[in-house]
Amino acid sequence: MGITSAHIAAITAFTMWGLFPIYWKFFGELGAWELFSHRLVWSFLSLMAWLVYKKRLISLKEIWSVPKTRFLLMASALLISTNWLLYIYAVSVGRILEASLGYFLNPLLNVFLGWLILREKIRWTQWPAITLGMLAMIILVLQSGLTHFPWLALALSVSFATYGLIRKMAHVGPLEGLAFETCIVILPTIIIWQFYPTHPLEAFSVLSAVKIFLLSLSGIVTCAPLILFAYAAKRLPFSTLGFINYLSPIFKFMCGWLIYHEVLSSERLQAFTLIWIALAWYTIESFAFHRKKTGQR
């Protein structure tokens, strides 16, 4: 089977996510909180416009009317906003490599949480990959010590993996769910604005007209890969999607190392190497299992 529109959509989505550091680095005059606030507001406006266009604004009321879904998405709103803030912080302070490490861990952590929370079975051939991923982080923590503890990588990985787990349990559309999440988070964020030393609206006096225009696109930049991912997820096998998923942390890694020249210490290199081996094992095992299950030779 050749490359389809679903393949192109998935590749584009994960490439966009992988190149996000370049976009956020462009607004060096702003801090992480200001960038996060703008991303949240512009995403909220873009999602509301999309729901109005699709005549799906009623979906927010439908989500609110189901207590279990409502509380699940309240929790996921806290997780995704935390993830956004930490990721933008990692980019702004020059810790993109550490962020990419966290996202490299995600596929393995997703499998582990599925086994731990959802009682999904882990094949015995998958355990070596999960064990290697855990070993990589243990070695990194022991070698780095408290002064260089990789808390950002762990926080990004855990927050995003837990977010994915909750969204899987919530059974709502990706855009409707994200729109509801932004509705939950935007009011507390605006309240915090009033007590924060630097107000996000000051960006309009600090940035050039071109940068203001590009910043206003952050909502579209946030939502576009999600739409492409949702399109691809309905049409591609999970194993194929999982393999393409690696594009995102790979591009993040390349941004941090090659473009912004972050230091790749020996401790990080050892951790990355173990995780790459684990991901290679996991990918090969998944493809082999899928081929066996579908009767391919």
pTM for the predicted model, two decimal places: 0.86
Give yes or no for a contact between 100 and 253, defined as CB atoms under 8 angstroms apart.
yes
> Residue 44 above 80 pLDDT?
yes
Q: How far apart are CA 164 and CA 175, in angstroms?
A: 14
> Is pLDDT above 80 for 141?
no
CB distance 101 to 150 below 8 Å: yes
The domain limits of the chain are: 5-113+151-235+248-264
Give the three-class secondary structure for 150: coil
pLDDT tens across 144-197, in order? 665 577 889 899 989 988 888 888 888 888 889 999 999 999 999 888 887 777
Helix (H, G, I), strand (E, B) or coil at 99: helix
Q: How far apart are CA 176 and CA 78, in angstroms?
A: 16
Backbone angles phi, psi at 219, to 5 degrees: -65, -45
Taking phi over 0 as left and psi of -120 to 50 as alpha, with beta for the rest, 295 belongs to left
